[in-house]
Amino acid sequence: MAKFGKKLVKRDLVESQFGNISVRKGEKMLITKRGIALDEIYKEGVVELDIEKSSYLDRIASSETIVHRTIYKNTPAFAIIHAHPVFAVIESMLVDTKTIIPINIEGEHFLHEIPVVKGAPGTAELADNTAQALIGHKGAVICGHGTFAIGKTLDEAYFVTALVEQSCKLKYYFDMAKK
């Protein structure tokens, strides 16, 4: 988790204290704590929680814990990355439809489409909408907020995050040139 936290920040996919990471561990999940800087995750920066039921430890976990939990309950994800990449957020605010359609070959091939979901940070509404979108997709964008990406490994969740942003960036610049 420390490695991918550093990588996300270094690759400009998230700014330090924004965003969070988790991995499934049987009936539990390991998730980054609230307010932790993603490029400085250390052992104490992570907390272990039950996937099925919340506990008093939720208070110190990421404020998006409810979203991670709902995703693990509804999908086979083993790893989740929540980031705030700029062009994914911009495209989520620009599309009228409920999905962003990539125009680059990798985006088309691996993502097909990127669902845009709604909901205020940390709410059950957001958690449900995001989990729902991730049943049929590897990555989704919360309108005006950021991305959630899942994978069998953190490697895959990282790859999806990077590909969502790359696809949205390409689309943004292409559309601007075509205007």
Residues that bind its own copies (CB under 8 A): 7, 9, 11, 15-18, 37, 84, 86-87, 89-90, 93-94, 103-106, 109, 120-121, 142, 144-145, 155, 158-159, 162-163, 166, 169-170, 172-178
CB nearer its own copies, residue 70 or residue 166: 166
Q: How far is it, in rounded angstroms, from Cα 88 to Cα 138?
A: 14
CB nearer its own copies, residue 11 or residue 28: 11
CB nearer its own copies, residue 29 or residue 67: 67
Count the alpha carbons within 13 Å of 34 in the hemisphere toward its beta carbon: 10
3-class secondary-structure state, position 14? coil
Q: How far is the CB of 165 from its own copies (least distance, A)?
A: 8
Burial 106-133 (b: 16+ CB within 10 A, else e): ebeeebeebbbbebeeeeeebbbbbbbb
Q: How far is the CB of 53 from its own copies (least distance, A)?
A: 28
